[in-house]
Amino acid sequence: MNRFAAARRVVVKVGTTTLTHGSGLLNYRRLERLVKTLADLKNSGKEIVLVSSGAIGVGMGELGLSARPQDMPTKQACAAVGQCELMYTYDKLFGEYNHSVAQILLTGEDIVPGKRRDNAANTFRRLLEFGVVPVVNENDTVSTEEIEIGDNDTLSAVVATLIGADALVLLSDIDGLYTANPKEDPTASLIPVVEDVDAVMSLGGGSSSIFGKGGMATKLHAAQTACSAGVDMAIINGSDPTLLYRLFDGENIGTYFVGRKQDV
């Protein structure tokens, strides 16, 4: 049994490979299921913040690029095109279930302690009071290396701590954390519960997708950030977004990283 059933404020992060087909264009069937599930969880009383990747991948698809751009201006151009398409789609789909969305784009400068971080936190708070679903991404258009957050696994953990979330769920293209890379090692087995993230950090591998960033290493770093702030985290497979129902019913699916609750 996990603590997700009791979680009220929830951050869900979805990656590019979950949102798009191999072509880089949006996977509407999956998106529709994801939005319907999130809308339903929201109706059940949870506050939902969605951290969505996909801007660069979707922009690549729209601009007909087959390789992830390496230079900053091309990445930023793709992100600018793709972010529009993403928000248009989220607005339309959440709107079908009578929920409003808001776009929040952040850079590294906005999440270090200070006025900009406070402003962002205040905006989140007010949006959640209004019952809106904030949809968050890195502000790729203005992010340069110096102020880059880097990947949305990290961003989602930072957002979870910023808004005092109870739980963070990373929807991935893999079922959870394995004892070894299951694509290379047939004896690899899924680890259902991690009590001490530091002890499993060595299990993070590299990134394997041409459209997105991340990989297990960034997910484990996200788990470190989330768990040390007392936020429970799970990695589950995003190919079936309705798994979120089972997770929030308290079932142990994927890998559950137990947040360290501070002693009171």
Separation CA 210–CA 229 (nearest Å): 32
Among 7, 14, 15, 241, the residue binding ligand GLU under the rule CB under 6 A is: 15
Sign of CA dihedral 237, 129, 55, 205: negative
Among 18, 53, 89, 172, the residue binding ligand GLU under the rule CB under 6 A is: 53
| Contact status, residue 238 vs residue 14, Cβ threshold 8 Å | yes
Q: Tell me which stretch binds ligand GLU (CB under 6 A): 48-56, 114-122, 127-135, 247-255.
A: 48-56
Q: In what side-by-side order are the strands of the sheet with 47-52?
A: 101-106, 133-138, 47-52, 9-14, 167-172, 232-237, 255-257, 193-194
Q: Is 172 annotated as a binding residue?
A: yes
CB of 193 to ligand GLU, least distance (A): 25
Among 41, 49, 56, 200, the residue binding ligand GLU under the rule CB under 6 A is: 56
Binding of ligand GLU at residue 55 (CB under 6 A)? yes
CB of 216 to ligand GLU, least distance (A): 13
CB of 189 to ligand GLU, least distance (A): 26
For the window 190-229, what string marks contact with ligand GLU as x by the rule CB under 6 A? ----------------------xxx---------------
Q: Compare residues 2 and 137 and give the one whose CB is closer to ligand GLU.
A: 137
The residues pairing with 50 across neighbouring beta strands, listed in sequence order, are 12, 135
Q: Compare residues 79 and 235 and give the one whose CB is closer to ligand GLU.
A: 79
Q: Compare residues 204 and 230 and give the one whose CB is closer to ligand GLU.
A: 204
User: DSSP labels for 28-67?
Assistant: HHHHHHHHHHHHHHHHTT-EEEEEE--HHHHHHHHHT--S
User: DSSP labels for 149-203?
Assistant: ---HHHHHHHHHHHTT-SEEEEEESSSS-BSS-TTT-TT--B--EES-GGGGGGG
Binding of ligand GLU at residue 176 (CB under 6 A)? no
Structure tokens at 25: 């264009």
CB of 143 to ligand GLU, least distance (A): 8
Q: Is 53 annotated as a binding residue?
A: yes
Q: Tell me which stretch binds ligand GLU (CB under 6 A): 23-31, 37-45, 54-62, 245-253.
A: 54-62
Q: How many CA atoms lie within 13 A of 211 on its CB side?
A: 27
SS3 20: strand
Sign of CA dihedral 9, 37, 223, 133: negative
Known binding positions: 13, 53, 140, 152, 172-173
Known binding positions for ATP: 13, 172-173
- Provide the binding-site residues for ligand GLU, judged by CB under 6 A: 15-16, 53-57, 79, 137-138, 140, 151-152, 212-214
